[in-house]
Amino acid sequence: MTGPSSNPPGATPARYLPSGDTALVVEFGDRIDRAINDRVVALDDAVHEAAIDGVVETVPTYCSLMIHYDPLRIGAAELIARIDAFGSRPAKARAGGRAWRVPVCYRGRHAPDLAEVAARTGLSPDEVVALHSGTAYHVYMIGFLPGFAYMGDVPERLSLPRRDNPRTTVPAGSVGIALAMTGIYPLESPGGWHLLGKTPIRLSDLAWPQPALFSAGDTVEFVPIDEPKFDRLRRDQDAGQRWAPVGEDAR
């Protein structure tokens, strides 16, 4: 089913897809695209602002928004009607979208794949770091692990497929790239992305009011730091400090 929700002029109409009897997927496209993701984030904002009775949770992805709902409080048809009532509101950046400056050490043991990425791209290690840290990344979605933000778009000169041999263990805080995406592993886990550096900050904590540090629609920039500063910031994080977005104090 298609509908007019959040359709800018000339955009593909949204499609409504049932996901069982307690969730509705509103799909805006089938590719990774900033304009499409802006529509996802705009609808996510609109649903939250409307405080629709019966809506339990929303899950933004690259090109769709999954809306979990309680069918005893609202039915799918009524939910679709409520979404359609938002009309053709223009896509916009998240009103509360935050900007982050994330410290990353691109040196030594923290950057196990930097030399290989440099060799494969024909760049020097310093050029790889400059390109990666010189881009403001858009958070498309959270997934894979609690707090793992899929961020784009990586400069084309750094675009590489995933590693042929994924690691069975990637340390928490590792900053990696794969194709057009970059991300930070919030927990120790297996992984196949190329690891360029590591951040000392925590990305997720169940004790936080919002367990994931980043949200879809946020902007992230990476700031190169040396190993002594990495160690100092890690001690602060271990002592309970929470990293704050630009313009806010650490908590």
CA neighbor of 118 nearest in space, from 191, 197, 184, 230:
197
28 with 68, same domain: the answer is yes
pLDDT recorded at residue 133: 98
Same domain, 64 and 110: no
251 inside domain: no
pLDDT of residue 247: 81
CA-to-CA dists, residue 75 to 59, 200, 243, angstroms: 18, 45, 40
Residue 81 neighbours by CB under 8 Å, 6+ apart: none
**Pair (31, 68) in one structural domain:** yes
pLDDT score recorded for residue 83: 92
Residues 87, 60 contacting (CB under 8 angstroms)? no
> Is residue 247 one of the residues assigned to a domain?
no
Give this prediction's pTM: 0.87
Q: For residues 172 and 185, what is the distance between their CA atoms, to the nearest angstrom?
A: 5
pLDDT for the residue 207: 85
Q: Which residues of the chain register pLDDT less than 70?
A: 1-10, 87-96, 250-251
Last residue of a domain, one of 56, 84, 112: 84
Please indicate, yes or no, whether residues 129 and 50 belong to a single structural domain of this protein: no
Within this chain, do residues 172 and 126 fall inside the same structural domain, yes or no? yes
Domain that holds residue 31: 2-84
Do 154 and 38 share a structural domain?
no
Q: Are residues 104 and 213 in the same domain?
A: yes
**How many structural domains is the chain composed of?**
2
Q: Which of 119, 118, 183 is nearest to 145 (CA)?
A: 183
